[in-house]
Every structure is written in structure tokens, then in C-alpha cells.
Amino acid sequence: MNKISLLFLALWANTLCLAQSPRQTFQETINEEDLRKHLTYIASDELGGRDTGSEGQKKAAEYITNHLSALGITPIVRDQMGKMSFQQKIELYKNGWKESYVVINGKKKVFFNDYFPVGMINIPVEKEIETVFVGYGIQSETSNDYLNKSVKGKAVILIENEPKNKAGKYLSSNSDNSDWIGSPGLKKKQKIAADLGADFVFVVSLADSDQFKTLNAERKAVLSRFNRLAIEKSKPESPSVTSAVPTFIISKNMAAEMLGISQKKLEEKIANPENKLKTKKSTIKIKSERGEDTIETANIMGFLEGTDKKDEVVIISAHYDHVGTDDKGRIHNGADDDGSGTCALLELAEAYSKAKAAGNGPRRSILFLWVTGEEKGLLGSKYYTDINPIIRLEKTVCDLNIDMIGRIDKKHESNQNYVYLIGSDKLSSELHSISENVNKETINFELDYEFNDPKDPNRFYYRSDHYNFAKNKIPVIFYFTGVHEDYHKPGDDVEKILFTKYSKITQLVFATSWELANRSERIIVDSNKP
Ligand SMILES: [Zn+2]
């Protein structure tokens, strides 16, 4: 190629640039190929579903920080050594059972396998205790399973519910009704054992081994809901907070070992409840320690300094955690939730850094904020706004939050070109009109406000990270394309992402933030809608 044609080409390229506004030029650097490249990694199995505090999430954090470094974006978190970092380290706390077991004749029984607790039982130090079998544990005017038995300071073993006699009547009352079945029956039995001074109750489950497995899994899931991650340390739990006497449900197999008989003998007793059962005394060891684990995670942020209005900051946020891998070993890759927001932010950071390098940097500063712990209750954004806002909240102009913009929902199957906007009019009417105008001038998508209605039962306004800004009267827009059949399921994969629309919505966020960062006056907070 000769020099003349090179010069001509340069002039031609220059004219092209002049035809476009800088906003358009840099908006167009956001493209499907880059988004696909980023999301293919962020939503890969290698990251294991990016559960908060997991190794996979740390890999995502590393990917984001490497990207920010390469773009020349500024780290603004001062770490403990005084060095500037992209990561705002956060310690989260989680309550749960630590060492828990029962030892019978030197054999260790497995927690949530051979037995499970009724409520949050805490036995921090191993106890050695004698057991006493008390049949069905019934004590009434007509029947007494505790006759001639001393249970004070011991562990009672009793069979659940109440059996019927040969005539089909309940055994203790010889009637058609029983007070001793189900959970009210168990409560009565627990109270009797506690009143007689028993230290523990072991309830023999009548479930067969498959049913017992299911019961274990269900109970584990229910109780783990109380083991949520939290920003603050919890108060110490008192021992066995929920029942009168610490109570465990045990399998027939475990019961037989505790009673020193074969499981067959126990089954015979259950089939013929009026028969006597000869059992051996035994001594068991038990421990069921609850405690707090610390989980280390981080918010990630990169700062792009503005020019003449650099003290005012526009935040663009997304959460980079997801729900991890489930009990069945299935990885929830969270490509849409919120891999889409995570990677949109990578592209936005790139577009702005290119603009700045070309001398078109924004007047206000931009903070790109990837928060952690969203799926655990918006913890990372709460930590940022409530505990350690790196940019003072008064200087924060707005938060544009992206959470799930890569799919379509049922309502929009015939028109992909839409996005739900939530929150845009709640605190600032200006923000709302800017958002509308920018959309018209750029991608011209349908802006769907269905979920912005305070009467909408989904209450999405309160359900992603922008809310922690909104509650501090910082105007927000939440960008969202709705829920779909793979929401919080293993099928939320990169193959199902609609990159064309995803790329356009990312461009809309860019164009909107560009206007907010470059206009002469900071947007005004003039309303407070629910
Ligand atoms: Zn999400």
C-alpha cells in the first residue's frame, strides 16, 4: 500500500468518526463477541456456580480484576497493608452444626443420616449417657410406659406415634382417637420426659430406610435455612433452643443398636405392640456442636475518574455471585443470573476506558461495582452502602443496576426487543425522562414498567442490589428481562443467552450512564414513590 492511499484512508476514517457523537462511537465498542467471550468463562462449570465465598467465585473475582488492570482502571480500595486494591474484602458469618455424632458401642452414627435433630440442638461438649427404653413414651390415666423406670439424667428411647390393639383401637385409651401421634403427640411425649428429668429423647422413626433418607434430606434443607450468611456475628445460641428436652429422630437400625437387640426383634415389637420387649442397658456418647464459620468474600470495584465534575459519581452495578452447586452435584452456572450483568459491566468498563484514552472521558466519575452475596440477601451491596461506602453516598449520583438481561420471559416471546425498568421514577423524575429519551435516541426498545408498579406482587424493586442505594435516597434504575424456566436452576447456561438483545441493553445502560455522567446538572431527587 502506498502513502497516498494510506492518507486517504486515514481521512476517510476520521470523517466517519466525526459523523458520530463520541457516545455513539464508544457505545458501539460494546459487542456480542466480547460479551460471549466473557460470559463463556464466567458461566463455565470451572467456576462451579460462583457461590459466595467459594473457590469458583474467587476465580470470577480474579477474572474481573485482571480485566480492570488491563484496561488501566483505577483501584480505589485501600487494603490492610495500605495498598490500593480492586477488592473490598468482606467477612460473612454463618451458623451451623460442626462436630455432631452419637457413639454406640464404639460405633459412630452419622448426623443427618442415621439420625437428625428436632430443632437447633447445641451440645458443645461430648456427653456420656445411659439409655432407657420406654416403649411409646405414653403416660396417661389409663396407661404408663414409665412404670418402674427411672429416667432422671438419662436418655429415653421411645417409638413414635401410638399403636393400635387387635381390635383396631388405640392402645392407651382403647378408643378411636389418640393424642400421641404426629407432632402434637411428640410434644406431649417430650414434656413428660422432661418433667421426669430425662436429658435427651430419641424417637424411633417408623419410616422404612428409603423414607428415612427422604426425611433426613427434608429436615436438613429446612434447618439449613436458619444457617444463613450474615454480615454481622450473631449472638451465641443457647443450648437446644426449640424443645423442652433435646430430641433426635433415629432410624430403626440405630434404635436396635442402642437397645442391644436385632432390628428384627424391634420390628416384631412394632408389629405386636402389646408384647414385652427385652432390651439391654447401654451407654452412648453424644455431641452436637453448633458454631459460627467465617466466610471470606469481596466486592470488586474499579474507578474511572471524571474530568471537571469528578467528585460526583455514577455507579453501575451487578452481582457476580450465584447459588453454586446443589445437593445433587448439579452446577448452577447462572449465565443470566447474574453472569449477564457481570459481563455487561466488563464491557461497560472497557467502553469508558477507551473513551477516556481517546480524550472523551466522562465529566463525572464512574464506579463499576461487582457485588457479592446478592443471592444470600443482598449482602455485598448492603455492606457497601451500610458499612463501608468507598464513595460517600452524598456524592453518589445514581446506581444503574443490571441483574438478568440475557433472556426473555413468557410475556415477550413474540418481541425480544424489550427490557423491564424498575425504580427509574421512584426518586427522580429527571432520571426517568433521561432514561426514556436516551432509549428513544439509541436502541429504541420497549421499556416495560409492569414490575415498577408498587402493587406488583413480585416486589422486584426490593429484591436486587439497587435497593440498598434507593433506601439511601440515591436514584436507581434496575435493568431486567424477567424470570424464565431456568431461573435458579441448573439450566441457566450460556447457550441460552440471546446475545443480540443482551448487547443492545448493555449499550442502553452505557448511553444512559453517559448522559448522567456528562450533563451539566446533577439529576435532582424530587420524589419518593413506593
Ligand atoms: Zn440475580
Whole-number Å distance, alpha carbon 250 to ligand 1 midpoint, is: 39
Are 230 and 266 in the same domain?
Answer: yes
* Pair 411, 265 in one domain: no
Residue 84 lies in a domain: no
Q: Kindly state whether residue 209 falls inside one of the protein's structural domains.
A: yes
Residue that finishes a domain, picked among 230, 263, 292: 292
Q: Which H or E run includes 131? A: strand 123-133
Q: What is the pLDDT of residue 243?
A: 56
Which of 248, 263, 292 finishes a domain? 292
CA of 322 to the centre of ligand 1 (A): 7
> Ligand 1 center to residue 364 CA distance, Å?
28
Domain check: are 265 and 388 in the same one?
no
Ligand 1: distance of its center to the CA of 209 in Å?
38
Q: Mind listing the pLDDT tens digit for each residue in 280-294?
A: 889 999 999 988 889
CA of 298 to the centre of ligand 1 (A): 17
Q: What pLDDT, on a 0 to 100 scale, did the predictor assign at position 274?
A: 85
Q: Do 446 and 340 share a domain, yes or no?
A: yes
Per residue of the chain (530 residues), give pLDDT as tens: 444 454 455 555 555 555 789 999 999 999 999 999 999 999 999 999 999 999 999 999 999 999 999 999 999 999 889 999 999 999 999 888 889 999 999 999 999 999 999 988 889 999 999 999 999 999 999 899 999 999 999 999 999 999 999 889 999 999 999 999 999 999 999 999 999 999 999 999 999 999 999 999 888 888 877 777 888 877 665 554 445 799 999 999 999 999 999 999 999 999 998 888 889 889 999 999 988 889 999 999 999 999 999 999 999 999 999 999 998 899 999 999 999 999 999 999 999 999 999 999 999 999 999 999 999 999 999 999 999 999 999 999 999 999 999 999 999 999 999 999 999 999 999 999 999 999 999 999 999 999 999 999 999 999 999 999 999 999 999 999 999 999 999 999 999 999 999 999 999 999 999 999 999 999 999 999 88
Is residue 525 in a domain?
no
Residues ≥6 apart with Cβ < 8 Å to 15: none
Distance 516 CA to ligand 1 centre (A): 24
Task: Give residue 390 CA to ligand 1 midpoint distance, Å.
Answer: 23
What's the CA-to-centroid distance between 499 and ligand 1, angstroms?
Answer: 18
Residues 223 and 319 in one domain: no
Distance 459 CA to ligand 1 centre (A): 14
The alpha carbon of 292 and the centre of ligand 1 are apart by a number of angstroms equal to 26
User: How buried is 187 (Cβ within 10 angstroms: 0-12 exposed, 13-18 middle, 19+ buried)?
Assistant: middle
Distance 495 CA to ligand 1 centre (A): 18
Distance 317 CA to ligand 1 centre (A): 11
pLDDT of residue 18: 53
- At 236 the pLDDT is 60
> Is residue 458 one of the residues assigned to a domain?
yes
- Grid coordinates in use for 524? 435532582
Q: How far does the centroid of ligand 1 lie from the alpha carbon of residue 375, in Å?
A: 7
- For residue 450, how far is its CA from the centre of ligand 1 (angstroms)? 18
Distance 377 CA to ligand 1 centre (A): 10
492 closest CA partner among 335, 344, 341:
335
Residues 244 and 383 in one domain: no
Backbone φ and ψ of 179, nearest 5°: -90, 5
Q: Which domain holds residue 396?
A: 49-74+305-518
Note the pLDDT of residue 1: 44
| Residue 24 Cα to ligand 1 middle (Å) | 29
CA of 254 to the centre of ligand 1 (A): 43
91 assigned to some structural domain = no
Region label for 488, one of left (φ > 0), alpha (ψ between -120 and 50) or beta (otherwise): left
| Separation of alpha carbons 271 and 163, rounded Å | 9
SS3 of 58-75: HHHHHHHHHHHHHHCCEC
User: If you measure from the C-alpha of residue 342 to the centroid of ligand 1, how many angstroms do you get, rounded to a whole number?
Assistant: 10
C-alpha of residue 110 to centroid of ligand 1, in Å: 35
The Å distance, Cα 477 to ligand 1 centre, comes to 15
What's the gap in Å between 434 CA and the centre of ligand 1?
25
> Measured in angstroms, how far is the CA atom of residue 55 from the centroid of ligand 1?
19
CATH label of the domain that carries residue 394: 3.40.630.10
Question: Measured in angstroms, how far is the CA atom of residue 479 from the centroid of ligand 1?
Answer: 11
Strands 396-402, 123-133: pairing is unpaired
Same domain membership, residue 217 and residue 107: yes
Write the CB contacts of 452 (distance below 8 Å, at least 6 apart in sequence).
420, 421, 422, 423, 424, 425, 426, 461
- 145 closest CA partner among 265, 252, 277: 277
Residues 249 and 317 in one domain: no
CATH of residue 283: 3.50.30.30
ipTM comes to 0.94
Asked, for residue 385, whether it belongs to a domain, the answer is yes
- Residue where a domain stops, chosen among 267, 292, 317: 292
From ligand 1's centre to the CA of 226, what distance in Å? 21
Same structural domain, 456 and 313? yes
Q: Cα of 417 to ligand 1 centre, how many Å? A: 21
Q: Where are the beta strands (DSSP E) in 160-250?
A: 200-204, 229-230, 247-250
Residues in a beta bridge with 96: 291
In angstroms, the CA 378 to CA 175 distance is: 54
Expressed in angstroms and rounded, the spacing between residue 190 Cα and the centre of ligand 1 is: 43
309, 348: one domain: yes
Is 309 among the domain residues?
yes
What spacing in Å lies between the alpha carbon of 332 and ligand 1's midpoint?
12
> Separation of 48 CA from ligand 1 center, angstroms?
16
If you measure from the C-alpha of residue 404 to the centroid of ligand 1, how many angstroms do you get, rounded to a whole number? Answer: 6
Please report the pLDDT score of residue 6 as a whole number.
47
Q: Are residues 318 and 177 in the same domain?
A: no
Q: What is the total count of domains within the chain?
A: 2
Distance from the alpha carbon of residue 136 to the mean position of ligand 1, in angstroms: 49
Structural contact between residues 241 and 120, judged by C-beta atoms closer than 8 angstroms: yes
Residue 501 domain flag: yes
| Residues bordering ligand 1, an ion, CB closer than 5 Å | 337-338, 403
196 lies in the same domain as 327? no
